[in-house]
Amino acid sequence: MVEINPPMPEVAPQETIVEMIRVRAQEHPEKEALVCGDTRLTWGAFDTRVNRVANALIARGIGRGDNVAVLSPNSIPYAELFIGITRAGACITPLSTMASPEALEKMMADCGARALFLAEQYRDLAAPFVDRLDCLKVAIDFAAPGFEDYETMLAGAETTDPMVEIDMSDPVNLIYSSGTTGTPKGILHNHWMRAAQMDRVEANGYADEARTLLSTPLYSNTTIVAFLPTLVGGSTVVLMPKFDAREYLKLAEREKITHTMLVPVQYKRIMDVPEFDSFDLSLMRMKCSTSAPLRADVKADVLARFPGKLVEYYGLTEGGGVTVLIADETPHKLHTVGQPAPNCEIRLIDEAGKEVAKGQVGEICGRSPTMMAGYFGREDLTSDYIWRDAAGNAYFRSGDMGSFDEDGFLVLSDRKKDMIISGGLNIYANDLELVLLADPDVVDAAAIGVPSDAWGETPLGLVVVRAGTSRSADDIRDAANAKLGKSQRLSGVEIRDELPRSSIGKILKRELRVPYWEKQPA
């Protein structure tokens, strides 16, 4: 077992999120807990259905130490499953709806899921592999041979709380990268980490009759870090199954939303709605942003026209280093991602693993009470992800480069790892390059992120083709996209005579990116 030992927060959590949410349900059973579309669920009804989910799983031999997968859009059943699976003592594995069928099958095999809960909307995505799965299969909102029906399963389950004993070291969720090729990388969070994150419940007002609008998917940590605090605060979660900027504004006004979590591309689309200023958003108290850097000009626009505080978080799904920018309090620092969060330490290191001098750029490494337990079943990857200081303390390496300004605010620079962040979703360049290189007419390939008004950043393929081929760039792009997940698809392919490489043969990605980014606003 790789030793991580996250530092203790000032006030150590004493209860798991399962216990915290259980208490909230008992305190105000008539209060609204969940809203999605035309469906509304009180805390009392939510608690009963969560108990039924937990008891149904336990009756089928699923509990502590088991992984349970969900492939679904945001919905009331998804929220029930998230909490019900954890109440049974099991670990929820929320699958990315943007991954390819090949990647999803690998995720299911890697985690050894004991069950899959599948929604009608993603039946086609699961169709290539679902018949090969040797596990319980439950249809959330459709009927099919080989599947149990979700509502029938719940109707036959006990309504009493199973009161499963859960340890802080037990896993609570397993989040996979959405790669297409190779072995998926599962990020394992335990109950200690999630409980430690609940220090933001009071600080961010989630316990003060909050109404939190979530339009990013529940398989994303971006959503989970607002979903769980709202429930632990005993407040109301409003789920949006599919994001649309104008519909988001209508919903925020109608549901009297006070809190929200959005990714940068969503902020840009919302602010670009022509009639934005006609919506009554006066009850909005806190807006959060994460997953990718929010451009300074967009932050300024949000501060000028969108009511409530704007808080940007920089961090990783793995946890570790976290910075916080309270944009409305530091409008002169909008080009940064803020200062280290409480109880969080950030160090910047060079390629040799030595700390860089103050003001210099280095790889961002972080340590905090909220650190993953490790990559599921991959101690080798977990070990590679860690940098240790002289005292042997573990810091997670981000792969991102940055520097601290004279006031201790973190300024991000070029990313060390070849991550493309499109619409708030992580895309691994290596996955795209392997697909391109599998084309018999491609002899060299690189994938980079280029600016996109719609997505913030979008993947572009740069290829060298074999002599004599008559294939067009569009044809190569289409062939690659047919093998990629929806979120990974290349916006374009360009044919080059050669790709720039270093003296040791590495493709110079930064050199490739410069022409596309050099004229972008700060």
DSSP 260-299: EEE-HHHHHHHHT-TTGGGS--TT--EEEE-SSPPPHHHH
Residue 152 scores a pLDDT above 60? yes
pLDDT for 521? 57
Give this prediction's pTM: 0.85
Rounded CA separation 81/138 (Å): 11
Per-position DSSP letters for 404-445, written without gaps between them = E-TTS-EEEEEESS-EEEETTEEEEHHHHHHHHHTSTTEEEE
Tell me what pLDDT residue 297 has: 87
Convert the pLDDT of each residue in 73-89 to its tens digit: 999 999 999 999 999 99
The pLDDT value given to residue 295: 84
pLDDT in tens, 377-402: 999 999 999 999 999 999 999 988 89
What percent of the chain is predicted at pLDDT more than 70?
A: 96
User: Domains of the chain (ranges plus CATH)?
Assistant: 17-242 (3.40.50.980), 337-415 (2.30.38.10), 419-517 (3.30.300.30)
Phi/psi at 341 (5° precision): -65, 160
Inter-residue contact 442 to 465 (CB < 8 Å): yes
DSSP letters along 11-43, please?
A: S---S-HHHHHHHHHHH-TTSEEEEETTEEEEH
129: three-class secondary structure by DSSP:
coil
Give the residue carrying structure tokens 């997940």: 485
- Gap between the Cα atoms of 403 and 482, Å rounded: 40
User: Whole-angstrom Cα distance, residue 499 to residue 462?
Assistant: 8
pLDDT per position as a tens digit, 474-519: 999 999 999 998 889 999 999 999 998 754 456 888 889 889 987 6
* Residues 308 and 285 sit within 8 Å (Cβ to Cβ): yes
Q: Residue with structure tokens 């996955």?
A: 431
Q: How many helices (H) and strands (E) does the chain have?
A: 16, 27
Report the mean per-residue pLDDT for the chain. 93
Is 457 a residue whose pLDDT tops 70?
A: yes
Nearest to 65 by CA among 159, 178, 156, 165: 165
Residue 186's φ and ψ, nearest 5 degrees, are -95, 125
Dihedral Cα 12, 17, 20, 21, nearest 10 deg: 160
Please work out, in degrees rounded to the nearest 5, the angle formed at the alpha carbon of residue 33 by the alpha carbons of 27 and 37.
165
The mean-pLDDT minimum among 17-21, 59-63, 298-302, 508-512 falls in 508-512
**If we measure between CA atoms, which residue out of 178, 269, 283, 179 comes closest to residue 215?**
269
Measured between alpha carbons, how far is residue 186 from residues 109, 172, 261 in Å?
12, 13, 23
Answer whether 44's CB lies under 8 Å from 29's CB.
Answer: yes
431-466 as b/e: b if 16+ CB within 10 A: bbbbbbeebeebebbbbbbbebeebbbbbbbbbebe
Distance CA 287, CA 243 (A): 16
Residue 362 has phi, psi (to 5 degrees) of: -150, 170
